[in-house]
Structure 1
Amino acid sequence: MALPVNIEDLLSKRKVEENRIEFKRGWNPDDIYHSISAFANDIDNLGGGYILVGIDQDSNGLAKRPVFGVPLEQQDKIQKDMVAYNNMISPYYLPRTSFEQVDGKDVFVIWVPAGVNRPYAVPANVTAKVKKPTYYVRSGSSSIVAKGEVHDELMALASHIPFDEQPNPKIKVENLSMVLLRDYLVKVGSRLQESVFQQPMRNTLEQMDLYDGPTENRMLKNVAAMMFCEHPEKIFPYTQAEIVIFPNGRENDPNNFSENILHGSVPQLINGALTYLKNTIIREYIAKQPDRAESLRYYNYPMPALEETITNAFYHRDYSQYEPVTITVEPNGITVTSIPGPDRSISQAAIQQGMSLRSRRYRNRRLGDFLKELDLTEGRSTGIPTIQTALKENGSPRAIITTDDNRTFIDVFIPIHEGCSDTVVLNREQGVPQGVPQGVPQDNNLDDWIMKQILSNPNITTQELAISSSRSTKTIKRHIAKIPNIKYIGSGYSGHWEINDKHQK
């Protein structure tokens, strides 16, 4: 069975957390089945893990290249042994396996998704005559016996399945898009892309661990609709993004706003919201520095901060609550609101200080895996630090995170860069809000302003005039066309303006 991820990403530990990957030089069933139990139990709700047999680990925890591999003469025996060992797991659990070509050799990959019938016990020694059932959990990058409070916590997880992994009888195969499914597999570099159009769609979904239940009543998991349905709002109402723009601020002018509602799969919603903001709101600014030759460049809102904020809003929202993700744009900043708020295990102090919000109870652990494979998020518990770092590097104020005592919502406020205006105007040509830098010209004196800029700097480009005036390039060109006796000689940054003596006087 082909993996739903790229083998090179596992070897380099790029898209899957390090503690979810184990390298084994050889086939050691006792040790390997401890890890299978631990990954299946998934006490931290991280989404299971991967065991790669035939690989040594270097001092940095990465795979040694070239890999050692699994000899061909051992492969059939390993697979037959696993049939017997899998029957020793209680309740029964079947890990996914695949032989992958790496450095011209075969590597045996055991994919262990988090189990829906946890906790799982396995004999401490599957090869011994006396078999004592034992529960294992992950501790960092090791698999250990669950004892004491850890054992009690594992038992308590028996009735808890994250929402995205729950089977849903409302979801049918025909609700899903084969185009979205293949597009995902192509983007992550999975070999499964080769068979999408060569086998029934349900076979591919089965290989991706998106089915659950007995053979006679197989049901798709919620995450299948979140990722591969073009209209998930028909299954989870209000799975949508609502972008609301208040040009003068919500409190100052609550009745003056525009609204744009986006629909689609979760990746489509994230990308659609980011594209809309990038095309209509995000602006780059250039500020001259008196003591330096180079200009200072910054954005009113850095895209990495918005990417992480919006992605996490869809990742952590509760899809059983019929509320949209709302993105509110005001003159002083952008607020992203999702329902509900962070887990109660996260302190108010951590929230108010904008620290890493780490929870052991993820609502949508599998959805997080998919989004990380698509490079839409960096990983678990890294969202807030990533946002704050992006704002700091842009010279922007820190983000402000707000929730209530009952954790019914979470607001992430991304403030506008202090070098930008505290007003938002409507661009008449594009019909979209645009941030305005301090001291930009008014419409009635734009022609004079353009002439002054050209006279002071004959090498200034049309694009630079557009950025400095917070107008579109099309607007600047239209106004320049109305100014007589002015012409740009050359092209790009190598050109210059020529003006007759009349204007210079």
Structure 2
Amino acid sequence: MSLPINIDELLNGRTVEWERIEFRKGWNPERSIKTICAFANDFNNWGGGYLILGVSEDNGKPDLPPSGLQLRQIDRIQQELNNLCRKIIPNYFPIVEPVDYQNRKILVIWCPGGSNRPYKAPETLGNNARFFYFIRRFSSTVRPNNDEEHELLSMANQVPFDDQLNHNAGLSDFDLSSIKVFLNEIGSGLEKEISNLPVDEVARRMNIAEGANENLLPKNVGLLFFAKNPQKHFPSAKIEVVVFKDETGTEYSEKIFSGGLHQQLRNALDHLQNKFSEQIIRKSASIPESERIVKYPYAALEEALCNAVYHRGYNNDSTIEVRIYPNRIDIISFPGPLPPLDKEKLRNNQFDIRKYRNRRIGEFLKDLHLTEGRATGIPTIIDAMKKNG
């Protein structure tokens, strides 16, 4: 069965960062179990990662076309994986899918961030092996240092809110048509199979539900994107665009955007683009050509609002507010930066923080090309404003 991602974009690093992908020409079980463990620990809440077999690596990127694997190799690897992952403590099982790519067969091992971290894996596969924690540090799988291990232990059973189960909802709350449209848009092969699958199988394959068959529950991220009525479960998951006549704030007009996160985001962006699409012609005595600018460049508005949707906390009752004043726009998204990022670091353009509040929302937004790489948001906004003059 197909994975809920565009394989071509995955292998070319367009929707998943390179540091979340590890390529291997062949099968090395001892090395692979450590990588799977590291992705499961999801130390920075990146959303886990992908181990791709049958593809050689060249400086962290795939060497294409792939060398590929034989069918008998794939069968053997899948059998070994089942036993191998039982050695991880607690047990963790990734989602595995053979894929035909450029006339070769490769094996994609999707390792979402685990719900029961921290996980340990054996140092070797021999007898009396010692077990250690493993994490990803940039593009490498490593054992954490003392400070990192202490932080990992403090994250025990702490699952980001967007990846948590929702005990007040059921699979019947999902809108399969919305899921189908999403899969079609990102070019996932799963879209062609969805009509013949029960909703529980679709939800498992997309990792938007989890649990035993008799008690399979939706995850918050699934409801935020694909519920029939997302605001039934998250009343404040909306974007409010408020236009103030002046600084007093007594006279204003308001428009509210609701629905799935990607739907409300796109509708709000369309609204802002229409509002600020009028060009301003600026003439200069030193330059013969007239300069055309807009009040607020769309690239800056898009990046700012997408970041607000990506990084807000969805377990509070505050909406995202876009406040438009005569001389500025304020975009407010609670509860603000995740420590250690703070106002001082933002003021000094220090964006090297690697922790994220939501680990799944960004995946879906990247699949739709609504957000880009990490730590690029504010620099992109500043660059767009400078280019606009």
TM-score, normalised by the number of residues in structure 2: 0.96
Greater shift after overlay, 309-318 or 29-38?
Answer: 309-318
Q: Secondary structure at the match of 1:276?
A: helix
CA distance in 2, matches of 1:174, 1:56: 42
Q: Secondary structure at the match of 1:150?
A: helix
What residue is the counterpart of 1:437 in the other structure? none
Structure 1: gaps (5+ residues): 396-505
Note the alpha carbon deviations across 1:262-306, whole angstroms, 9 max, x for none.
Answer: 111111111111111112233222334444443312111111111
Does the aligned pair in 2 maintain the 1:318–1:340 contact within 8 Å? yes
What residue is the counterpart of 1:241 in the other structure? 239
What residue is the counterpart of 1:105 in the other structure? 104
Does the aligned pair in 2 maintain the 1:244–1:329 contact within 8 Å? yes
What residue is the counterpart of 1:5 in the other structure? 5
Greater shift after overlay, 32-41 or 330-339?
Answer: 330-339
What residue is the counterpart of 2:124 in the other structure? 125
What residue is the counterpart of 2:36 in the other structure? 36
Does the aligned pair in 1 maintain the 2:338–2:357 contact within 8 Å? no
CA distance in 2, matches of 1:159, 1:25: 34
CA distance in 2, matches of 1:292, 1:146: 57
Structure 2: gaps (5+ residues): none
Q: Secondary structure at the match of 2:32?
A: helix
Residue 250 of structure 1 aligns with an amino acid whose one-letter code is: E
> Which residue of 308, 325, 330 corresponds with 1:330?
325
CA change 1:32–1:76 in 2 (3 A) is same
Q: Secondary structure at the match of 2:360?
A: helix
TM-fit CA distance, 1:83:
1.4
Residue 198 of structure 1 aligns with an amino acid whose one-letter code is: N
CA change 1:163–1:242 in 2 (3 A) is same
What residue is the counterpart of 1:206 in the other structure? 204
> Which residue of 227, 243, 254 corresponds with 1:259?
254
Does the aligned pair in 2 maintain the 1:355–1:385 contact within 8 Å? no
Residue 135 of structure 1 aligns with an amino acid whose one-letter code is: Y
Does the aligned pair in 2 maintain the 1:350–1:357 contact within 8 Å? no
What residue is the counterpart of 1:297 in the other structure? 292
What residue is the counterpart of 1:19 in the other structure? 19
TM-fit CA distance, 1:87:
1.1
Q: Secondary structure at the match of 2:61?
A: coil
Where do residues 40-439 of structure 1 align in structure 2 (5 Å cutoff)?
40-59=40-59, 61-126=60-125, 128-247=126-245, 249-251=246-248, 254-356=249-351, 358-360=353-355, 362-395=356-389
CA distance in 1, matches of 2:188, 2:122: 33
CA distance in 1, matches of 2:232, 2:367: 26
TM-fit CA distance, 1:211:
1.4
What count of residue pairs does the alignment treat as equivalent? Answer: 389
What residue is the counterpart of 1:429 in the other structure? none
**TM superposition outliers: structure 1 runs of 4+ over 4 Å:** none
CA distance in 2, matches of 1:269, 1:353: 32
CA distance in 1, matches of 2:213, 2:179: 23
Does the aligned pair in 2 maintain the 1:343–1:359 contact within 8 Å? no
CA distance in 2, matches of 1:275, 1:27: 47
CA distance in 2, matches of 1:228, 1:63: 32
Does the aligned pair in 1 maintain the 2:4–2:183 contact within 8 Å? yes
Q: Secondary structure at the match of 2:4?
A: coil
CA distance in 1, matches of 2:373, 2:224: 19
Q: RCO higher in 1 or 2 (8 Å CA, sep ≥ 6)? A: 2
Does the aligned pair in 2 maintain the 1:302–1:390 contact within 8 Å? yes
Q: Percent identity?
A: 37
Residue 175 of structure 1 aligns with an amino acid whose one-letter code is: D
Residue 366 of structure 1 aligns with an amino acid whose one-letter code is: R
Q: Secondary structure at the match of 1:287?
A: strand
TM-fit CA distance, 1:354:
4.4
TM-fit CA distance, 1:166:
0.6
Q: Secondary structure at the match of 2:153?
A: helix
Does the aligned pair in 2 maintain the 1:288–1:294 contact within 8 Å? yes
TM-score, normalised by the number of residues in structure 1: 0.74
CA distance in 2, matches of 1:47, 1:168: 18
CA distance in 1, matches of 2:182, 2:83: 34
Q: Secondary structure at the match of 1:111?
A: strand
What residue is the counterpart of 1:398 in the other structure? none
CA distance in 1, matches of 2:184, 2:341: 37
Does the aligned pair in 1 maintain the 2:96–2:107 contact within 8 Å? yes
CA distance in 2, matches of 1:101, 1:384: 38
TM-fit CA distance, 1:91:
0.6
CA distance in 2, matches of 1:341, 1:114: 23
Residue 62 of structure 1 aligns with an amino acid whose one-letter code is: K
Note the alpha carbon deviations across 1:454-485, whole angstroms, 9 max, x for none.
Answer: xxxxxxxxxxxxxxxxxxxxxxxxxxxxxxxx
CA distance in 1, matches of 2:229, 2:159: 24
Note the alpha carbon deviations across 1:299-322, whole angstroms, 9 max, x for none.
Answer: 111111111111111111111111
Larger radius of gyration: 1
Note the alpha carbon deviations across 1:410-442, whole angstroms, 9 max, x for none.
Answer: xxxxxxxxxxxxxxxxxxxxxxxxxxxxxxxxx
Does the aligned pair in 2 maintain the 1:167–1:220 contact within 8 Å? yes
TM-fit CA distance, 1:255:
2.5
CA change 1:274–1:357 in 2 (3 A) is farther
